[in-house]
Structure 1
Amino acid sequence: MKSPNIQIRDDGRLRHFLSIEGLNYGLLNEILDTAESFAGVAEQSVKKVPLLRGKTIVNLFFEASTRTRTTFELAAKRLSADVLNINVDVSSAAKGETLLDTLRNLEAMQVDMFVVRHKDSGTAHFIARHVLPHVSVINAGDGRHAHPTQAMLDMYTIRREKGSDFGRLTVAIVGDIAHSRVARSQIHALNLLTTGEVRIIAPRTLVPSHVESLGVRVFHELREGLRDADVVIMLRLQRERMQGGLLPSEHEYYQLYGLTEEKLSMAKPDVTVMHPGPINRGVEMDSQVADGPRSVILQQVTYGIAVRMAVMSMAMQKKVAQDADA
């Protein structure tokens, strides 16, 4: 018997957001549409909506991050939620308290949502299986497994730049596929949104085995993989997750796989260049491309706030409605 999808409520609504896997085309588009409705909030004189007023959201980060944690915090505050940032390095967890004990103590403070980032794959799912029924969990990145909100802000960026018809697009993901939770989530999202062709371009040592089963076309030569691409997503080299000599040197990697204007000329003239950040300039791409007219890297950061607002509001939708009826 198939186990229930803990991300989805009985009514088909989002309860947790743990991975793209297990979701469907309709939910992904609902996230994108909801993000669109929040996109203008930043331009208001008061950058807030009262949707989650009185709710408490905890950013529970066991792994360092500035960009992701900051955008989650801004997203929660723009929804009028109260936000608690837990510095795990100096918390009770660092003193030996178990993860479940940490959760129970935070739940006793009437928390409504955990945003979790952890170096171990599966941690967000573990937490989601053990929280109280009214608590939602958002995965802000777990090991090599998934980074679903990053994937959704990338999908939102593509839709903003190229329109909603993903079926006519060729999207190339370049770099460290094997160690990237972002790439895994991007691939699932692009295929759910019926993208015309999804390519990955990487050295053989940075391509996971049987990756073709995810519905991608594999290239090991950058120029050939970029040919006629509509969107190019560059990935950061995941040095902290590599073991062994998978690359001769960063210099050689740049020579073969670093994005330059000359290599980018193989793609379509109106190609969109993306990167989840932070960029290693002179390794993944040169500054001329990163700062050039076809780059939307800074726009991705801006869009990330709206997408995270969308995911938080959708996961808490039922609870908000129940409180309104009370």
Structure 2
Amino acid sequence: MRHLLSASDLDAAQSVALLDLAEDMAEVNDRQVKKLPTLRGKTVVNLFFEDSTRTRISFELAAKRLSADVINFVAKGSSMSKGESLKDTAQTLEAMGADAIVLRHSSSGSAHRLAHTDWVDSAVINAGDGSHEHPSQALLDAMTIRQSFWPDNRGRDLTGLKVLIVGDISHSRVARSNLILLDTLGAEAHVAGPATLTPVSLVGID
């Protein structure tokens, strides 16, 4: 798998493998030297067109822990204010040697567009695109749920659990990714919220 654009990009085996790997990586935080050589010589660009604290810092820290060089791009104060497009910016960063681009953008589908055009050859990770999806957050939520129920959780999916997501489902990219990933991992997912804030396809479903 070259890109992570949607929670639907992952099947059950891949999802569990990623959660297991995340557990292994979490143990690195307990070491005196919190560094692995996995991405040594690679450049990761955090390309953020929306404000972010936790997501951007998490991706930056993860890349640095894997020994990558990290470039943080923030739209404010950049050439975007002079009319430069996503394509222009991405191609500039590609020319500078970006191996992976972590993209957050206000437009739904922007990560898919970046990954499936000839603009860049870099791997693309969707860190939130409009109200569409936020797959990395869904993986984190699944990891937290799994840890809560099974401290010894290697190799486990979420079969047998019932999960309720409450709130504005229609406009939540996190809820959308969570629903997809929870289903992939075998959990029984439900939503609750005003009908006007729930996708038509889910209205009336318990």
TM-score (normalised: structure 1): 0.59
- Name the counterpart of 1:122: 109
Matches within 5 A, 1:31-70: 31-70=18-57
Contact (CA 8 Å) 1:198, 1:217: kept in 2 or not? no
Choose the corresponding residue for 1:188, options 180, 184, 187: 180
The secondary structure found in structure 2 opposite 1:138 is strand
Number of positions where the alignment pairs a residue of Structure 1 with one of Structure 2: 200
Deviations 1:219-250 (A, max 9, x none): xxxxxxxxxxxxxxxxxxxxxxxxxxxxxxxx
Q: Is 1:153 aligned with 2:140?
A: yes
The CA RMSD over aligned residues, in Å, is 1.4
Are residue 205 (structure 1) and residue 196 (structure 2) matched? yes
CA separation in 2, counterparts of 1:211 and 1:15? 31
Match of 1:176 in 2: 168
Cα deviation, residue 21, structure 1 = 1.6
Query: Which TM-score applies when normalising by structure 2?
Result: 0.92
Once the two structures are TM-superposed, the CA of residue 170 in structure 1 deviates from its matched residue by: 1.1
Give, in whole Å, the separation in 2 of the partners of 1:112 and 1:159.
31
Q: Residue deviations 1:39-61, cap 9 Å, x none? A: 11111111111110111000000
Residue 76 of structure 2 corresponds to which residue in structure 1? 89
Q: After TM superposition, which residue ranges in structure 1, 4 or more long, deviate above 3 angstroms?
A: none
Would you say 1:99 and 2:86 are equivalent positions? yes
Q: Which of the pair has more CA radius of gyration?
A: 1
Measured against aligned partners, the alpha-carbon deviations of 1:6-25 in whole angstroms (never above 9, x if no partner) come to xxxxxxxx200000123211
1:80 to 67, 82, 93: 67
Stretches of structure 2 lacking an aligned partner (at least 5 in a row): 151-155
Distance 2:56 2:76 in 1: 15
Q: Which amino acid aligns with 1:203?
A: P
Identity, % of aligned positions: 52
Residue 114 of structure 1: SS of its match in structure 2?
strand
Work out which of the residue numbers 158, 164, 182 in structure 2 matches 1:166. 158
